[in-house]
Amino acid sequence: SYTTDTKSREENKRTLENLYSLSVDITKIRRLKEWVLLQDVAYVKEIACILQEMGADKTAIANIIERCPEAILHTPAEINSQRALWLLVCQNEKQLIKLIEQFPESFFTTEYQQNQKANILFLQELGLKNNIITRFLTSAPSIFYNPVEKNKNVIETLQRNYLNLGGSEANMKIWILKLLSQNPFILLNTSAAIQDNLEFLQKNDFTDQEVLQLLSKLKGFIFQLNSTTMQKSMLFSKNIFKCSDKELKQLVLKCPALLYYSVPVLEERLEGLLKEGISIAQIRETPMVLELTTQIVQYRIKKLSALGYDIKSGNLESLNGTKKDFEVTYGKIQSKKERPIFNPVAPLHIED
């Protein structure tokens, strides 16, 4: 609804004066979104006043406007509605203003308020804790823009499939909530796409139990794939590791990344490992190493080499895991290396 034609229009002097009075860095706005300064109507003082009511100081208000200049184009009524909406899941206004400071764009997207409210209430009914919903509002705001019926359909498809695959009614709620917490973007998929991906796995001889296992391991990312890319990735792995269908299935269960990553990504990571002198046999033994980017692998190999640990002759387990996992492994190898060969406090047995 805002024009972006900057040639024929001048900056709104009143808007500029109001921004100056708030110590807002106008050069930042010119660089980011100059069109905001050209609008005939802006609510600079009013929006600043609402933010101040919520507990923001002058510096915080200036930062918020600099990061999200279009905030000043919303009416006070729109912002107060958004404030009431977010307070459905925020503990208080102190927490709310902190979130606005960190994620102003998410808060100042007010076009979908009805959908946002319906989806917040639906997620609460589902049993998601408010702190998880606030995390979604800031990091995955687009899931709230869908009509609530669409999100309900996706959840119902997941519930139905979970039970069809042998999951128990008692565990279903926990499973759904965990899946959503790990990857809220599954709500952006269609029910048909979810169904298609599950059928693909079943056609490739994964048992119902194994499909459930994969769903949990992939944290819902499987729903963002399609059968064509999964087929290509599996074929690529089969050729590289020279294995049978049965062996391939075991590799995928061990390392779902073989299913999730596209062929170019797998190729690049494989190439990076081979350049470091790691063999295909070693990778096949520990395929989880393909979950790591080439840069992470190089960094970890370098650190281990500095301790005298030869990755080419050892197994790749020491490279695996999260940053925290690696630091624990590295610490163990380091302390082993630094440990004295003999115990200096042990009594010496000297023959007479």
pTM of this prediction? Answer: 0.77
Task: Examine residue 266 and state whether it is found in any structural domain, yes or no.
Answer: no
Reading the chain (352 residues) residue by residue, the pLDDT tens digits are: 455 554 447 999 999 999 999 999 999 999 989 999 999 999 999 999 999 999 999 999 999 999 999 999 999 999 999 999 999 999 999 999 999 999 999 999 988 999 999 999 999 999 999 999 999 999 999 999 999 999 999 999 999 999 999 988 989 999 999 889 888 998 988 888 888 888 999 999 899 999 888 887 777 777 778 889 999 999 999 999 999 999 999 999 998 889 888 999 999 999 999 998 888 999 999 898 998 899 998 898 888 888 888 887 777 888 888 888 888 888 888 887 766 555 555 554 544 3
> Is-contact 291 258, C-beta < 8 A?
no
- Domain membership of residue 245 (yes or no) is no
In Å, how far from its chain's centre is CA 303?
27
Q: Classify residue 101: in a domain, yes or no.
A: yes
Instruction: Round to whole Å and give the CA distance between 190 and 226.
Output: 12
Q: Summarize the chain as % helix, strand, coil (round to 5).
A: 70, 0, 30
Task: State how many domains the chain has.
Answer: 1
Report the number of secondary-structure helices (H) and strands (E) in the chain: 20, 0
Q: What is the dihedral of CA 149, 150, 154, 160, to 10 degrees?
A: 40
Tokens of 132: 């998880």
Picking from 299, 234, 225, 295, the residue whose alpha carbon sits closest to that of residue 266 is 234
Q: Tell me what pLDDT residue 341 has.
A: 52
The H-or-E segment that residue 212 falls in is helix 208-217
- What separation in angstroms does the CA of 298 have from each of 226, 252, 276, 290, 320? 31, 24, 8, 12, 12
What is the span of the domain harbouring residue 58? 10-110
| Domain contains 104 | yes
Measure Cα distances from 256 to 215, 250, 264, 300 in Å: 9, 10, 16, 22
- As a dihedral over the C-alpha atoms of residue 57, residue 63, residue 64, residue 70, rounded to 10 degrees, the angle is 130
Q: Is residue 80 part of a domain?
A: yes
Contact 205, 245 (CB under 8 A): yes
Q: Within 10 Å of residue 30's Cβ, how many Cβ atoms?
A: 13
How far apart are the C-alpha atoms of 106 and 143, rounded to whole Å? 12
Is 43 within a domain? yes
Task: Please indicate, yes or no, if residue 53 is contained in any of the structural domains.
Answer: yes
Inside any domain, residue 274: no
What pLDDT is attached to residue 120?
97
Q: Of 293, 303, 298, whose CA–CA distance to 277 is shortest?
A: 298
Predicted local distance difference test score (pLDDT) of residue 345: 52
Please give the DSSP secondary-structure letter assigned to residue 348.
Answer: P
